[in-house]
Amino acid sequence: MSDNRPGTAEVLLGLASAAGIDIDINVEDEGINIELPGADLGFRHSFVNGPMARRARQSTQALLRACTNRQRNIRSVLDLTAGWGADSLTLAAHGQQVTMLEQNSLLCAILACSLERLALDERGHEIARRLTLTKANARDFLQDLDAGQDFDCIYLDPMFPAHKSGAKPGREMQILQTLTGNTDIESCFELSLQKARRRVVVKRPLKAPAFGESRPDMVYREKSIRLDVYLTR
């Protein structure tokens, strides 16, 4: 992990109480239980067991088609919006070297804790070696990055706007929406186009307009989302 990685379970519990929202966090052997009692929402965060780890092993995801390509030398990904780390975990499980950025201190501490457990797991430690976590605002990080130097692919998965029908996303995403939001995403996209060695990938709701002025070079679709790919070289 990078030097400015966040800390351990104790730090995490302190951050939860400092966040000033009604949240319960319990660190257990199986993972980190996160609950919003007021909203009756909860889930267990783990990179080792459970839905996130299972999803990471699936090889047919559009995310993998968009962000990995051995023939085109896509070997490293900068995930500007790590969130719960599900997409980063999937990419690392399929061989990508992934740098995760997350702006929110509590989320970052949860990611760090789950990453430590993954590193101790017999099956997971190779994947953990491919994951680096940094707490940062993505725009600041990108501004300091040399163009074309470090990352083959830059990936953005901003928080989606509320659905017009009132349909709610899954509980993990509802909790994320309570904890954090988007910051400087438009400028992150523009900077990414200047800095990515080979491509920029943006996750969008299936029918939402594309980001920025230019049309994506490739689009990969799933049931409710799509991945817009912009080739930078």
Q: Decide: is 105 part of the binding site for ligand SAM (CB under 6 A).
A: no
Of 39-47, 77-85, 112-120, 217-225, which part binds ligand SAM (CB under 6 A)? 77-85
Q: Among 68, 76, 96, 103, which residue interacts with ligand SAM (rule: CB under 6 A)?
A: 103
C-alpha separations of 96 from 14, 34, 72 in Å: 33, 28, 13
Q: Decide: is 228 part of the binding site for ligand SAM (CB under 6 A).
A: no
CA distance 158 to 179: 14
Number of residues that bind ligand SAM (CB under 6 A): 25
Q: Among 36, 47, 87, 154, which residue interacts with ligand SAM (rule: CB under 6 A)?
A: 87
In three-state secondary structure terms, 37 is helix
Amino acid at 98: V
Lookup result for tokens 């509320």? 162
Contact flags string 121-150 toward ligand SAM, x per CB under 6 A: ----------------xxx-----------
Q: Decide: is 178 part of the binding site for ligand SAM (CB under 6 A).
A: no
C-alpha separations of 213 from 142, 193, 209 in Å: 20, 12, 10
CA distance 149 to 195: 8
Q: What is the DSSP letter of 224?
A: S
Residue closer to ligand SAM by CB (options 150, 184) is: 184
Residue closer to ligand SAM by CB (options 74, 98) is: 98
Q: What is the DSSP letter of 145?
A: S
Of 35-43, 97-105, 112-120, 213-221, which part binds ligand SAM (CB under 6 A)? 97-105
- The answer for residues whose C-beta is within 8 angstroms of residue 144's C-beta and 6 or more apart is none
Of 5-13, 79-87, 124-132, 209-217, which part binds ligand SAM (CB under 6 A)? 79-87
Phi and psi dihedrals of 72, rounded to 5?
Answer: -95, 15
Q: Decide: is 86 part of the binding site for ligand SAM (CB under 6 A).
A: yes
Q: Which residues bind ligand SAM (CB under 6 A)?
A: 80-81, 83-87, 101-104, 107, 137-139, 157-159, 176, 180, 182-185, 188
